[in-house]
Amino acid sequence: MMSAYKKVMNQIHASEEFKSKMQKEMIEYEKREKRVFMKKIRLMAGGFVACAVIAVVAIVALTNVNKNETIDLTERIVVDHSGPAAKAMLNIEGVITEVGEDGMSFTLDNGMKVMVTDETELGIDGPTAPPKEEQLFEPTFRVGNLIGGYTEDTSADPVTAAVIYTNWNFENSIR
């Protein structure tokens, strides 16, 4: 009976040894897993910090680049030459490149051909118009004059001017 007792006791002892060994292995495994997890966390945090640093550096660099440049707002201006100017509509606009033999028709630098008739109003009128002597209007149409006017039909060729507001040569005026 004693041998059976010793045998059982040895088995129990072996079981305790097994339990102890397994417990040590489990603790080591948990420590390894914890280390791996912490390494992953550190790598992710490091990557996040690196991205944040790069973003901040990029923003600072871009804002410093723009501070050194002067801004020219005129590059952003879009001008619609067919839109209203004050109360007057302009759709005849350009510099005369050729005057017809009759002296009352001309071609502009944009290719538009214009006819001036007896019904065409000349100059600016109305309550806010400057005196006749102060208006930018020369007595004849000549090459180099800047023309501003209006026509009812811009698709005609040549167009018939309803109004010519401006006929002036800024470089070599007659008056």
Of residues 147 and 52, more confidently modeled: 147
Q: Is the pLDDT of residue 153 over 70?
A: yes
8 Å CB contact between 109 and 98:
no
DSSP code at position 129: P
Q: What is the pLDDT of residue 93?
A: 95
Q: What is the pLDDT of residue 29?
A: 77
Q: What is the Cα–Cα distance from 15 to 13, expressed in whole angstroms?
A: 5
pLDDT digits (tens, 9 = 90+) for 9-29: 666 665 677 667 777 877 787
Residue type present at position 140: T
8 Å CB contact between 83 and 93:
no
